Protein backbone atom coordinates (compact mmCIF):
# COMPACT_ATOMS: atom_id res chain seq x y z
CA UNK A 1 0.00 0.00 0.00
CA UNK A 2 1.22 3.49 -0.80
CA UNK A 3 1.42 6.09 1.95
CA UNK A 4 -1.97 7.88 1.37
CA UNK A 5 -3.88 4.60 1.17
CA UNK A 6 -2.07 3.24 4.18
CA UNK A 7 -2.82 6.39 6.19
CA UNK A 8 -6.51 6.28 5.26
CA UNK A 9 -6.77 2.62 6.26
CA UNK A 10 -4.96 3.31 9.54
CA UNK A 11 -7.26 6.24 10.37
CA UNK A 12 -10.35 4.14 9.65
CA UNK A 13 -8.98 1.32 11.81
CA UNK A 14 -8.19 3.67 14.68
CA UNK A 15 -11.68 5.16 14.49
CA UNK A 16 -13.06 1.64 14.54
CA UNK A 17 -10.84 1.09 17.60
CA UNK A 18 -12.56 4.04 19.28
CA UNK A 19 -15.95 2.54 18.59
CA UNK A 20 -14.85 -0.91 19.74
CA UNK A 21 -13.39 0.42 22.98
CA UNK A 22 -16.51 2.42 23.68
CA UNK A 23 -18.87 -0.47 22.92
CA UNK A 24 -16.74 -2.87 24.95
CA UNK A 25 -16.94 -0.68 28.03
CA UNK A 26 -20.71 -0.21 27.66
CA UNK A 27 -21.13 -3.96 27.19
CA UNK A 28 -19.03 -4.70 30.30
CA UNK A 29 -21.02 -2.13 32.28
CA UNK A 30 -24.39 -3.68 31.48
CA UNK A 31 -24.22 -6.56 34.02
CA UNK A 32 -23.14 -4.14 36.77
CA UNK A 33 -26.11 -1.89 36.06
CA UNK A 34 -25.13 0.72 33.44
CA UNK A 35 -22.34 3.07 32.60
CA UNK A 36 -22.47 4.82 35.95
CA UNK A 37 -20.54 1.83 37.35
CA UNK A 38 -17.61 2.46 35.01
CA UNK A 39 -14.63 4.32 36.44
CA UNK A 40 -14.71 6.60 33.39
CA UNK A 41 -17.18 7.55 30.68
CA UNK A 42 -17.35 5.13 27.70
CA UNK A 43 -15.74 7.82 25.49
CA UNK A 44 -12.55 7.55 27.52
CA UNK A 45 -12.35 3.78 26.98
CA UNK A 46 -12.72 4.46 23.27
CA UNK A 47 -9.99 7.11 23.43
CA UNK A 48 -7.78 4.69 25.34
CA UNK A 49 -8.11 2.19 22.50
CA UNK A 50 -7.28 4.99 20.04
CA UNK A 51 -4.16 5.87 22.00
CA UNK A 52 -2.96 2.28 22.24
CA UNK A 53 -3.53 1.62 18.57
CA UNK A 54 -2.65 5.02 17.13
CA UNK A 55 0.35 6.30 19.09
CA UNK A 56 2.68 3.30 18.47
CA UNK A 57 1.60 3.26 14.82
CA UNK A 58 2.41 6.93 14.35
CA UNK A 59 5.78 6.52 16.08
CA UNK A 60 6.70 3.52 13.94
CA UNK A 61 5.57 5.36 10.80
CA UNK A 62 7.80 8.31 11.64
CA UNK A 63 10.79 6.10 12.47
CA UNK A 64 10.25 4.14 9.28
CA UNK A 65 10.24 7.34 7.25
CA UNK A 66 13.45 8.46 8.94
CA UNK A 67 15.51 5.25 8.58
CA UNK A 68 13.96 3.61 5.53
CA UNK A 69 16.01 5.44 2.88
CA UNK A 70 19.24 5.16 4.89
CA UNK A 71 18.87 1.39 5.26
CA UNK A 72 17.90 0.86 1.62
CA UNK A 73 20.82 2.96 0.47
CA UNK A 74 23.23 1.04 2.66
CA UNK A 75 21.98 -2.27 1.32
CA UNK A 76 22.14 -1.10 -2.32
CA UNK A 77 25.66 0.29 -1.95
CA UNK A 78 26.83 -2.86 -0.15
CA UNK A 79 25.62 -4.95 -3.08
CA UNK A 80 27.72 -3.06 -5.61
CA UNK A 81 30.92 -4.61 -7.08
CA UNK A 82 34.30 -4.03 -5.47
CA UNK A 83 35.44 -1.14 -7.72
CA UNK A 84 32.58 1.09 -6.49
CA UNK A 85 33.31 0.40 -2.83
CA UNK A 86 36.65 2.16 -3.02
CA UNK A 87 35.27 5.46 -4.27
CA UNK A 88 35.12 8.58 -2.09
CA UNK A 89 31.91 9.40 -0.22
CA UNK A 90 30.99 12.13 -2.71
CA UNK A 91 31.45 9.82 -5.68
CA UNK A 92 29.39 7.13 -3.98
CA UNK A 93 26.61 9.69 -3.49
CA UNK A 94 26.63 10.45 -7.21
CA UNK A 95 26.55 6.77 -8.06
CA UNK A 96 23.59 6.27 -5.75
CA UNK A 97 21.74 9.16 -7.43
CA UNK A 98 22.45 7.53 -10.78
CA UNK A 99 21.03 4.22 -9.54
CA UNK A 100 17.92 6.08 -8.41
CA UNK A 101 17.57 7.67 -11.85
CA UNK A 102 17.95 4.32 -13.59
CA UNK A 103 15.32 2.81 -11.28
CA UNK A 104 12.90 5.58 -12.24
CA UNK A 105 13.68 4.97 -15.91
CA UNK A 106 15.23 8.42 -16.36
CA UNK A 107 18.71 7.17 -17.31
CA UNK A 108 18.56 4.24 -19.75
CA UNK A 109 22.29 4.05 -20.63
CA UNK A 110 24.36 2.50 -17.90
CA UNK A 111 26.73 -0.33 -17.19
CA UNK A 112 25.33 -3.72 -16.15
CA UNK A 113 26.50 -3.44 -12.55
CA UNK A 114 24.46 -0.30 -12.07
CA UNK A 115 21.48 -1.81 -13.85
CA UNK A 116 21.57 -4.74 -11.48
CA UNK A 117 21.87 -2.38 -8.54
CA UNK A 118 18.87 -0.40 -9.80
CA UNK A 119 16.86 -3.61 -10.00
CA UNK A 120 17.96 -4.42 -6.44
CA UNK A 121 16.99 -0.93 -5.35
CA UNK A 122 13.51 -1.25 -6.84
CA UNK A 123 12.97 -4.58 -5.11
CA UNK A 124 14.11 -3.23 -1.80
CA UNK A 125 11.75 -0.28 -2.08
CA UNK A 126 8.82 -2.56 -2.80
CA UNK A 127 9.72 -4.83 0.08
CA UNK A 128 9.95 -1.81 2.32
CA UNK A 129 6.47 -0.57 1.38
CA UNK A 130 4.89 -3.98 1.88
CA UNK A 131 6.72 -4.57 5.15
CA UNK A 132 5.64 -1.16 6.38
CA UNK A 133 1.97 -1.89 5.66
CA UNK A 134 2.16 -5.26 7.40
CA UNK A 135 3.98 -3.92 10.45
CA UNK A 136 1.67 -0.95 10.90
CA UNK A 137 -1.53 -2.90 10.43
CA UNK A 138 -0.39 -5.50 12.96
CA UNK A 139 0.48 -2.76 15.43
CA UNK A 140 -2.95 -1.19 15.11
CA UNK A 141 -4.76 -4.51 15.38
CA UNK A 142 -2.61 -5.48 18.35
CA UNK A 143 -3.33 -2.15 20.02
CA UNK A 144 -7.05 -2.49 19.59
CA UNK A 145 -6.93 -6.11 20.71
CA UNK A 146 -4.94 -5.34 23.86
CA UNK A 147 -7.28 -2.47 24.65
CA UNK A 148 -10.28 -4.72 24.10
CA UNK A 149 -9.10 -7.28 26.65
CA UNK A 150 -7.65 -4.69 29.03
CA UNK A 151 -10.87 -2.69 29.32
CA UNK A 152 -12.68 -3.47 32.55
CA UNK A 153 -15.09 -1.30 34.51
CA UNK A 154 -12.39 -0.60 37.13
CA UNK A 155 -9.76 0.58 34.60
CA UNK A 156 -9.13 4.31 34.97
CA UNK A 157 -9.36 5.18 31.31
CA UNK A 158 -9.82 8.89 31.97
CA UNK A 159 -6.60 9.26 33.99
CA UNK A 160 -4.89 7.17 31.39
CA UNK A 161 -6.05 9.39 28.56
CA UNK A 162 -5.32 12.60 30.45
CA UNK A 163 -1.74 11.44 31.00
CA UNK A 164 -1.30 10.75 27.29
CA UNK A 165 -2.84 14.12 26.46
CA UNK A 166 -0.45 15.88 28.84
CA UNK A 167 2.52 14.11 27.28
CA UNK A 168 1.46 15.04 23.77
CA UNK A 169 0.94 18.68 24.74
CA UNK A 170 4.39 18.66 26.30
CA UNK A 171 5.80 17.18 23.10
CA UNK A 172 4.25 19.95 21.02
CA UNK A 173 5.86 22.64 23.16
CA UNK A 174 9.17 20.79 23.09
CA UNK A 175 9.07 20.77 19.28
CA UNK A 176 8.96 24.57 19.27
CA UNK A 177 11.78 24.76 21.80
CA UNK A 178 13.99 22.26 19.99
CA UNK A 179 13.42 24.00 16.65
CA UNK A 180 14.59 27.26 18.20
CA UNK A 181 17.56 25.47 19.71
CA UNK A 182 18.34 23.92 16.34
CA UNK A 183 18.28 27.30 14.62
CA UNK A 184 20.48 28.81 17.30
CA UNK A 185 22.93 25.93 17.09
CA UNK A 186 23.23 26.09 13.31
CA UNK A 187 23.73 29.85 13.37
CA UNK A 188 26.21 29.49 16.22
CA UNK A 189 28.15 26.77 14.38
CA UNK A 190 28.57 28.83 11.21
CA UNK A 191 29.41 31.89 13.28
CA UNK A 192 32.18 30.00 15.06
CA UNK A 193 33.60 29.01 11.69
CA UNK A 194 33.44 32.67 10.67
CA UNK A 195 35.14 33.84 13.83
CA UNK A 196 38.00 31.40 13.20
CA UNK A 197 38.83 33.41 10.08
CA UNK A 198 37.84 36.89 11.21
CA UNK A 199 38.54 37.61 14.89
CA UNK A 200 35.43 38.63 16.91
CA UNK A 201 37.08 41.89 17.96
CA UNK A 202 37.47 42.95 14.36
CA UNK A 203 33.88 41.97 13.62
CA UNK A 204 32.40 43.72 16.65
CA UNK A 205 34.55 46.84 16.70
CA UNK A 206 35.74 47.30 13.11
CA UNK A 207 34.60 50.48 11.42
CA UNK A 208 34.84 49.22 7.84
CA UNK A 209 32.27 46.91 6.23
CA UNK A 210 33.16 45.65 2.77
CA UNK A 211 32.47 41.93 2.55
CA UNK A 212 33.74 41.43 -1.04
CA UNK A 213 36.60 38.93 -0.96
CA UNK A 214 39.11 38.95 -3.78
CA UNK A 215 38.65 35.88 -5.95
CA UNK A 216 41.90 36.57 -7.79
CA UNK A 217 45.01 38.10 -6.29
CA UNK A 218 44.95 41.12 -8.63
CA UNK A 219 41.26 41.96 -8.14
CA UNK A 220 40.57 45.59 -7.27
CA UNK A 221 38.28 47.00 -4.61
CA UNK A 222 37.73 43.78 -2.75
CA UNK A 223 39.38 44.31 0.57
CA UNK A 224 37.18 41.98 2.61
CA UNK A 225 36.68 44.09 5.71
CA UNK A 226 34.23 42.73 8.24
CA UNK A 227 33.77 45.52 10.77
CA UNK A 228 30.09 45.46 11.67
CA UNK A 229 29.90 48.81 13.48
CA UNK A 230 28.51 50.68 10.42
CA UNK A 231 25.75 48.10 10.20
CA UNK A 232 24.87 48.36 13.88
CA UNK A 233 24.92 52.14 13.60
CA UNK A 234 22.67 52.04 10.54
CA UNK A 235 20.27 49.65 12.26
CA UNK A 236 20.14 51.82 15.37
CA UNK A 237 19.68 54.99 13.31
CA UNK A 238 16.77 53.60 11.34
CA UNK A 239 15.16 51.94 14.35
CA UNK A 240 15.51 55.17 16.32
CA UNK A 241 13.86 57.19 13.55
CA UNK A 242 11.09 54.60 13.33
CA UNK A 243 10.48 54.79 17.08
CA UNK A 244 10.56 58.60 17.06
CA UNK A 245 7.75 58.45 14.52
CA UNK A 246 5.82 55.54 15.98
CA UNK A 247 5.96 56.07 19.76
CA UNK A 248 4.22 59.46 19.98
CA UNK A 249 1.67 58.71 17.27
CA UNK A 250 1.01 55.21 18.59
CA UNK A 251 0.68 56.31 22.22
CA UNK A 252 -1.50 59.30 21.44
CA UNK A 253 -3.84 57.22 19.32
CA UNK A 254 -3.94 54.57 22.04
CA UNK A 255 -4.87 57.19 24.64
CA UNK A 256 -7.49 58.63 22.33
CA UNK A 257 -8.95 55.21 21.61
CA UNK A 258 -8.94 54.06 25.22
CA UNK A 259 -10.04 57.22 26.99
CA UNK A 260 -11.75 59.65 24.67
CA UNK A 261 -13.23 57.80 21.71
CA UNK A 262 -16.86 56.78 21.82
CA UNK A 263 -17.36 53.00 21.48
CA UNK A 264 -18.57 53.43 17.92
CA UNK A 265 -15.50 55.41 16.86
CA UNK A 266 -13.20 53.02 18.70
CA UNK A 267 -14.71 49.99 17.01
CA UNK A 268 -14.09 51.57 13.63
CA UNK A 269 -10.71 53.20 14.18
CA UNK A 270 -8.96 50.35 15.97
CA UNK A 271 -9.40 47.75 13.21
CA UNK A 272 -8.45 50.38 10.63
CA UNK A 273 -5.22 51.11 12.50
CA UNK A 274 -4.53 47.41 12.71
CA UNK A 275 -4.83 47.19 8.93
CA UNK A 276 -1.47 48.99 8.88
CA UNK A 277 0.07 45.89 10.47
CA UNK A 278 -1.43 43.70 7.78
CA UNK A 279 0.17 45.49 4.82
CA UNK A 280 3.08 43.39 3.49
CA UNK A 281 6.41 45.05 4.24
CA UNK A 282 7.40 44.93 0.60
CA UNK A 283 4.49 47.26 -0.14
CA UNK A 284 5.80 49.63 2.53
CA UNK A 285 9.17 49.17 0.86
CA UNK A 286 8.17 50.48 -2.53
CA UNK A 287 6.08 53.20 -0.93
CA UNK A 288 9.24 54.26 0.88
CA UNK A 289 11.45 53.94 -2.19
CA UNK A 290 9.16 55.52 -4.79
CA UNK A 291 7.18 58.06 -2.77
CA UNK A 292 8.72 58.88 0.59
CA UNK A 293 12.41 58.85 -0.33
CA UNK A 294 12.17 61.14 -3.40
CA UNK A 295 9.88 63.49 -1.50
CA UNK A 296 12.30 63.72 1.41
CA UNK A 297 15.22 64.23 -0.98
CA UNK A 298 13.40 67.03 -2.83
CA UNK A 299 12.46 68.79 0.37
CA UNK A 300 16.02 68.44 1.66
CA UNK A 301 17.46 69.80 -1.60
CA UNK A 302 15.08 72.72 -1.53
CA UNK A 303 16.06 73.55 2.05
CA UNK A 304 19.71 73.08 1.20
CA UNK A 305 19.59 75.33 -1.86
CA UNK A 306 17.50 78.00 -0.19
CA UNK A 307 19.60 78.33 2.94
CA UNK A 308 22.89 77.14 1.52
CA UNK A 309 23.22 74.23 3.95
CA UNK A 310 25.44 71.62 2.46
CA UNK A 311 24.14 68.71 4.51
CA UNK A 312 20.68 69.16 3.05
CA UNK A 313 21.87 69.89 -0.47
CA UNK A 314 23.80 66.62 -0.49
CA UNK A 315 20.85 64.50 0.66
CA UNK A 316 20.94 61.16 -1.10
CA UNK A 317 18.05 59.60 -2.98
CA UNK A 318 17.98 56.72 -0.58
CA UNK A 319 17.89 57.90 2.99
CA UNK A 320 17.69 56.50 6.49
CA UNK A 321 14.96 59.05 7.15
CA UNK A 322 12.69 57.69 4.43
CA UNK A 323 13.14 54.10 5.53
CA UNK A 324 12.81 54.97 9.22
CA UNK A 325 9.73 57.13 8.77
CA UNK A 326 7.90 54.52 6.71
CA UNK A 327 8.95 51.81 9.15
CA UNK A 328 7.62 54.02 11.93
CA UNK A 329 4.22 54.09 10.21
CA UNK A 330 4.38 50.34 9.92
CA UNK A 331 4.93 49.75 13.65
CA UNK A 332 2.32 52.27 14.86
CA UNK A 333 -0.32 49.56 15.27
CA UNK A 334 2.01 47.45 17.42
CA UNK A 335 2.25 50.29 19.89
CA UNK A 336 -1.27 51.67 19.60
CA UNK A 337 -3.03 48.35 19.81
CA UNK A 338 -1.04 46.95 22.74
CA UNK A 339 -0.98 50.25 24.61
CA UNK A 340 -4.73 50.60 24.10
CA UNK A 341 -5.18 47.17 25.67
CA UNK A 342 -3.07 47.96 28.72
CA UNK A 343 -4.67 51.37 29.21
CA UNK A 344 -8.12 49.83 29.01
CA UNK A 345 -7.00 47.21 31.52
CA UNK A 346 -6.22 49.82 34.19
CA UNK A 347 -8.98 49.27 36.77
CA UNK A 348 -11.92 51.63 36.56
CA UNK A 349 -11.61 52.23 40.29
CA UNK A 350 -8.35 54.15 39.73
CA UNK A 351 -10.04 56.41 37.18
CA UNK A 352 -12.98 56.97 39.51
CA UNK A 353 -10.67 57.68 42.43
CA UNK A 354 -8.85 60.37 40.52
CA UNK A 355 -11.96 61.92 38.99
CA UNK A 356 -13.67 61.94 42.39
CA UNK A 357 -10.86 64.10 43.79
CA UNK A 358 -11.63 66.60 41.07
CA UNK A 359 -8.92 65.74 38.57
CA UNK A 360 -9.70 66.42 34.94
CA UNK A 361 -9.61 63.68 32.42
CA UNK A 362 -6.19 64.59 31.09
CA UNK A 363 -4.75 64.90 34.61
CA UNK A 364 -6.14 61.47 35.37
CA UNK A 365 -4.54 60.05 32.25
CA UNK A 366 -1.17 61.70 32.77
CA UNK A 367 -0.81 61.16 36.50
CA UNK A 368 -2.67 57.96 37.28
CA UNK A 369 -3.50 55.88 34.24
CA UNK A 370 -0.28 56.38 32.33
CA UNK A 371 1.99 55.43 35.26
CA UNK A 372 -0.19 52.42 36.01
CA UNK A 373 -0.07 51.28 32.40
CA UNK A 374 3.61 52.11 31.97
CA UNK A 375 5.01 48.57 32.18
CA UNK A 376 2.67 47.42 29.44
CA UNK A 377 3.44 50.48 27.37
CA UNK A 378 7.19 49.90 27.74
CA UNK A 379 6.59 46.30 26.72
CA UNK A 380 4.75 47.38 23.60
CA UNK A 381 7.51 49.84 22.68
CA UNK A 382 10.22 47.22 23.11
CA UNK A 383 8.22 44.81 20.99
CA UNK A 384 7.92 47.48 18.30
CA UNK A 385 11.65 48.15 18.61
CA UNK A 386 12.60 44.55 18.04
CA UNK A 387 10.27 44.53 15.07
CA UNK A 388 12.00 47.64 13.72
CA UNK A 389 15.45 46.16 14.21
CA UNK A 390 14.49 42.98 12.39
CA UNK A 391 12.80 44.70 9.45
CA UNK A 392 14.56 44.14 6.11
CA UNK A 393 12.43 44.89 3.09
CA UNK A 394 11.80 48.59 3.63
CA UNK A 395 15.47 49.23 4.27
CA UNK A 396 16.63 47.31 1.22
CA UNK A 397 14.39 49.40 -0.98
CA UNK A 398 14.60 52.81 0.64
CA UNK A 399 17.86 53.14 2.56
CA UNK A 400 20.36 51.60 0.20
CA UNK A 401 23.14 49.09 0.60
CA UNK A 402 26.18 51.23 1.30
CA UNK A 403 27.62 50.59 4.74
CA UNK A 404 28.41 54.14 5.77
CA UNK A 405 29.16 55.09 9.33
CA UNK A 406 27.05 58.21 9.67
CA UNK A 407 24.53 59.81 11.96
CA UNK A 408 23.03 61.88 9.16
CA UNK A 409 19.47 60.65 8.54
CA UNK A 410 19.54 62.10 5.01
CA UNK A 411 22.40 59.81 4.00
CA UNK A 412 21.98 56.28 2.78
CA UNK A 413 22.80 53.59 5.33
CA UNK A 414 22.35 49.87 5.59
CA UNK A 415 21.30 47.54 8.36
CA UNK A 416 22.26 44.15 9.71
CA UNK A 417 19.28 42.37 8.18
CA UNK A 418 19.79 43.94 4.77
CA UNK A 419 23.39 42.79 4.73
CA UNK A 420 22.39 39.27 5.72
CA UNK A 421 19.98 39.21 2.79
CA UNK A 422 22.54 40.53 0.27
CA UNK A 423 25.32 38.25 1.55
CA UNK A 424 23.24 35.14 0.99
CA UNK A 425 21.60 36.12 -2.31
CA UNK A 426 23.14 34.93 -5.56
CA UNK A 427 25.87 32.37 -6.28
CA UNK A 428 28.10 32.10 -3.27
CA UNK A 429 30.72 29.80 -2.01
CA UNK A 430 29.25 28.48 1.17
CA UNK A 431 32.48 28.34 3.11
CA UNK A 432 33.78 31.82 2.29
CA UNK A 433 33.92 34.36 5.12
CA UNK A 434 31.54 36.51 3.11
CA UNK A 435 28.74 33.98 3.41
CA UNK A 436 29.53 32.99 6.94
CA UNK A 437 29.51 36.64 7.95
CA UNK A 438 25.74 36.48 7.45
CA UNK A 439 25.51 33.93 10.24
CA UNK A 440 27.64 36.03 12.56
CA UNK A 441 25.37 38.99 11.86
CA UNK A 442 22.32 36.81 12.42
CA UNK A 443 23.71 35.64 15.73
CA UNK A 444 24.37 39.20 16.85
CA UNK A 445 20.88 40.26 15.85
CA UNK A 446 19.40 37.29 17.65
CA UNK A 447 21.30 38.12 20.83
CA UNK A 448 20.17 41.75 20.66
CA UNK A 449 16.47 41.02 20.08
CA UNK A 450 16.54 38.26 22.67
CA UNK A 451 18.03 40.76 25.11
CA UNK A 452 15.34 43.31 24.27
CA UNK A 453 12.56 40.78 24.76
CA UNK A 454 14.14 39.67 28.02
CA UNK A 455 14.27 43.25 29.29
CA UNK A 456 10.66 43.80 28.20
CA UNK A 457 9.52 40.75 30.12
CA UNK A 458 11.48 41.79 33.20
CA UNK A 459 10.03 45.30 33.14
CA UNK A 460 6.49 44.05 32.69
CA UNK A 461 6.79 41.43 35.42
CA UNK A 462 8.49 43.73 37.88
CA UNK A 463 5.65 46.20 37.93
CA UNK A 464 2.71 43.99 37.11
CA UNK A 465 2.24 42.51 40.58
CA UNK A 466 1.98 45.89 42.23
CA UNK A 467 -1.32 46.86 40.66
CA UNK A 468 -3.51 43.91 41.47
Residues that bind another protein (CB under 8 A): 262, 347, 349-360, 363, 367-368, 371-372, 466-467
Long-range contacts of 259-266 (CB under 8 A, 24+ apart): 259/343, 259/361, 259/365, 259/369, 260/361
Q: How far is the CB of 350 from another protein (least distance, A)?
A: 6
> Residue 210 — φ and ψ, nearest 5°?
-155, 85
CA distance 114 to 117: 5
Which residues have CB under 8 Å from 243's CB, separation 6+?
328, 331, 381, 384, 385, 388
Q: How far is the CB of 380 from another protein (least distance, A)?
A: 18
Q: How far is the CB of 349 from another protein (least distance, A)?
A: 4
> Residue 319 — φ and ψ, nearest 5°?
-135, 150
Residue (360 or 428) nearer to another protein, CB: 360
Which residues have CB under 8 Å from 2's CB, separation 6+?
129
Please give the angle made by the CA atoms of 198, 201 and 207, to the nearest 5 degrees.
90
Residue (216 or 262) nearer to another protein, CB: 262
Residue (19 or 467) nearer to another protein, CB: 467
Q: How far is the CB of 318 from another protein (least distance, A)?
A: 46
Residue (71 or 357) nearer to another protein, CB: 357
What three-state secondary structure class fits 213? strand
Q: How far is the CB of 362 from another protein (least distance, A)?
A: 11
Residue (184 or 359) nearer to another protein, CB: 359
Q: How far is the CB of 265 from another protein (least distance, A)?
A: 12
Q: How far is the CB of 26 from another protein (least distance, A)?
A: 45
Nearest partner of 102 among 115, 92, 112, judged by Cα: 115
Residue (13 or 368) nearer to another protein, CB: 368
CA distance 73 to 70: 5
Residue (9 or 269) nearer to another protein, CB: 269
CA distance 462 to 460: 6
Amino acid sequence: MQTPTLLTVLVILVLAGYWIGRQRSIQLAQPAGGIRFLRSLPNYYGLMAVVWAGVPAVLVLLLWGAFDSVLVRGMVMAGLPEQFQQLTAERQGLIFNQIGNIARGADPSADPALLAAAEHYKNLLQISVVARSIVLLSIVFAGIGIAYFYIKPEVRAREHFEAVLRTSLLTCSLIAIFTTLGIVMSVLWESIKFFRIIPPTEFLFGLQWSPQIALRADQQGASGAFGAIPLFAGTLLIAAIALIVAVPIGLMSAIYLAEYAKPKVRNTVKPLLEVLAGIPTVVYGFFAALTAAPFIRDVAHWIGNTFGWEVFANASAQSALAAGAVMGIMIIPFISSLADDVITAVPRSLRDGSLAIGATRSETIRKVIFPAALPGIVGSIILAASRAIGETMIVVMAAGLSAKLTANPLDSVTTVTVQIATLLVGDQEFDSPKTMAAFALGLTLFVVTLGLNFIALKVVNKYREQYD
